[in-house]
Amino acid sequence: MQKTEYDAIVVGSGPNGLSAAITLQQQGLSVLLVEGKKEIGGGMRTKALTLPDFLHDVCSAVHPMAVLSPFLKSLSLEKYGLELIQPTFAAAHPFDDGTAGVLDRSIEKTAEGLGKDCEAYLRFMSPVVRDLPKLLPDLLGPFPLPKYPIALAEFGLKALPSATWLAKRFKTREARGLWAGMAAHAIQPLENLATSAIGIMLMAAAHVAGWPIPKGGSQSIADALTTLFLSLGGEVQTDFPVRSLSQLPPAKAVLFDVTPKQLVAIAGDKLSSSYISRLQKYRYGMGVFKVDWALSEPIPFKAEACRGAGTVHLGNTLEDIAAAEKMTSLGNQSRKPYVLLSQPSVFDSTRAPKGKHTGWAYCHVPNGSKEDMTEAIENQVERFAPGFKDLIIGRSTMNTQQIEDYNPNYVGGDINGGIQDIFQLYTRPVLSASPYRTSAEGIYICSSSTPPGGGVHGMCGYHAAKQALKDVFKIKIAE
């Protein structure tokens, strides 16, 4: 470390830590960004996990929120080397008969593929797509005083119900299955209130800005953000795991890109007992089991649309997916799990040697489960892409413990930093006028355990940094 004192220190270099550091540095402060691993990035890292020259995204891979985030959009990251690629289709959802529901960039083309549900889809999604750009600053932050109250109320009425209840709007297998695959990104039972919010956001995001993948892997987002931060005069210290505040040099503000569990462990001696008690009641959700493959050829999906989709949801019908997610939430494991899959090398040739490919997939598992789900996941892929298993030339797997070891923020394999159900949607990590403040002056939390939650959008870090600027440095950022 070059200095003995800083205006602000940010602990953790995921998308939120980087965003917080940049927001602070933009105001001319002296900012140190500390990362426990040797590489910057948190959930945005790309490594050769299987075979040499086969590049795999360790965590996040497809980034619909990165292009919608008001903060990330303001940074013009293309100037710092970031190149985003739009797959032919945002997502596809295959069925056993070889057909598939398709989420196209065009809302009209998506609707046309849903047959009898064409008009129902347009009626439901068109207002959301129209209003989403102006609602994003409110939706991607703490519970707001809305700038567009009528539009936000209309969105809320659609987002509040459970995904299974909202699915009653649709009659066709294609529409219901496609919807279930989107809503299951919530990583909780589809019967839960507000699971519709995740599905609606993801579908609308596809129609507004697509679901891009970064050329070279998710590490390129972290690299672009780091390059920008350094260009502003920020400092970075890697390979420096923080286990106590005493390890850090003096600073007027410290922002933690960690979940409540780590915050208590690191800074508990500075926090009030009542605040610690509330943090300890914070709930983590289901975990994930992930598989990465080196492949000799692209995955041979029966449904042609799946071969051009950046993301494929495997699980067949809405009923099948809902049953699997419910079973997992109760601590059991479905042998036919809902699987999220992507094969980025189809669209980005830098990910694998010429003629070869990479693929990854994960399924939800009980939090902390150490069960090996490789066979179950590969059986689901083979179900919709016969011959897939014959193409595997390398494999890497991560259970929930290995995922948490890789990134301590993924407690029990929970990649959302805590369950985002109706009780923790806007009250994460605690119910507070400012969820980013802690009970200790000058200490803030800026991770996905704060609003708006999981995803590569940087808005948690941005909002936390804004709060610190206002409280500590008397600087107010204009909206």
CA nearest neighbour of 136 among 86, 212, 75, 209? 209
> What pLDDT sits at residue 145?
80
How far is 407 from 43, CA to CA, in rounded Å?
8
How far is 328 from 337, CA to CA, in rounded Å?
9
Residues 6+ apart with CB under 8 A from 237: 1, 32, 33, 34, 35
∠ Cα 135 137 142 (to 5°): 110
Question: DSSP of 261-305, one letter per residue?
Answer: HHHHHHHGGGS-HHHHHHHTT-----EEEEEEEEESS----SSGG
CA nearest neighbour of 85 among 211, 190, 199? 211
Question: Please, which residues bridge with residue 56 across strands?
Answer: 47
> What pLDDT sits at residue 217?
98
Structure tokens at 186: 């919530």
Query: Which CATH code for domain 84-213+286-406?
Result: 3.90.660
Q: Residue type for 160, please?
A: L
Which residue pairs, CB below 8 angstroms and at least 24 apart, start in 345-348? 345/295, 345/298, 346/87, 346/298, 346/307, 346/308, 347/85, 347/87, 347/88, 347/213, 347/310, 348/85, 348/213, 348/215, 348/216
Structure tokens at 306: 């799946």
How far is 78 from 360, CA to CA, in rounded Å?
26
Pick out the chain residues at pLDDT < 70.
1-2, 144, 479
> What pLDDT sits at residue 464?
98
Q: β-strand 84-85 against 213-214: which pairing, if any?
A: antiparallel
> What pLDDT sits at residue 2?
58
**Axis crossing angle, helix 15-25 with helix 219-231, rounded to the nearest 10:** 20
> What pLDDT sits at residue 169?
97
**Axis crossing angle, helix 149-159 with helix 118-139, rounded to the nearest 10:** 120
H/E/C letters for each residue in 236-264?
EECCCCCCCHHHCCCEEEEEECCCHHHHH
| pTM of the model as a whole | 0.96
CA nearest neighbour of 114 among 62, 177, 157, 207? 177
Structure tokens at 364: 């939800």
CA nearest neighbour of 222 among 406, 43, 44? 44
Quote the mean pLDDT of the chain.
96
Longest alpha-carbon distance in the chain? 67
How far is 175 from 291, CA to CA, in rounded Å?
28
How far is 106 from 401, CA to CA, in rounded Å?
40
Domain coordinates in residue numbering, the chain: 84-213+286-406
Q: Residue type for 409, please?
A: N
> What pLDDT sits at residue 439?
98
DSSP state of 437: B
> What pLDDT sits at residue 141?
87
